[in-house]
């Protein structure tokens, strides 16, 4: 497969990065300010038991909230963009598998997360893109 170069507006890359980051910043605040609600949502999900595999749910929710906040802000600012995208993917995938897979009620949020994954992968696969 030939690697072709295309021209992309720097502004469009910045806007994409900033808009994708906002979901993580907002979600992190929800995780940190509404720990019990987040755990309840996880427990009601079809695969919610997966959220308990790494230990107490409270710790998982708080750690994921801190990680999403720190790396969401870094991603927003364009600081260590590729690393931030990779870390956010590592948080997004387990949350998606735990809370949204296997339920018709969450089909919209599932595909929202798939779209967010696409936005993050854009930055992982294009490491030379800068702010």
Please write the tens of the pLDDT for every residue from 27-74: 999 989 988 888 788 777 776 667 667 678 788 889 999 999 999 999
Reported pTM: 0.86
pLDDT at 36: 85
11, 60, 72, 97, 117 from 37: Cα distances, Å:
37, 13, 21, 18, 24
CA separation for the pair 39, 35 (Å, rounded): 6
The number of residues making up the chain comes to 131
- Under a CB-based contact definition with an 8 Å cutoff, are residues 91 and 51 in contact? no
Residue range 20-26: mean pLDDT, rounded: 97
Other residues' Cβ atoms within 10 Å of the Cβ of residue 120: 24
The pLDDT-based confidence of 97 (bands split at 50, 70, 90) is confident
The pLDDT-based confidence of 7 (bands split at 50, 70, 90) is confident
């Amino acid at each position: 497969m030939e690697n072709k170069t295309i021209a992309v507006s720097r502004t469009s890359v910045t806007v994409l990065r900033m808009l994708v980051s906002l979901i993580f910043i907002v979600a992190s605040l929800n995780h940190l300010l509404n720990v019990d609600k987040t755990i309840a949502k996880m427990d009601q999900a079809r695969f919610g038991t997966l959220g308990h595999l790494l230990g107490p749910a409270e710790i998982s929710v708080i750690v994921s909230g801190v990680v999403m906040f720190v790396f969401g802000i870094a991603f927003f600012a364009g600081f260590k963009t590729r690393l931030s995208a990779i870390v956010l993917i590592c948080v997004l995938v387990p949350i998606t598998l735990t809370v949204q897979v296997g339920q018709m009620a969450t089909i919209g949020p599932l595909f929202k997360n798939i779209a967010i994954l696409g936005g993050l992968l854009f930055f992982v696969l294009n490491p030379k893109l800068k702010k």
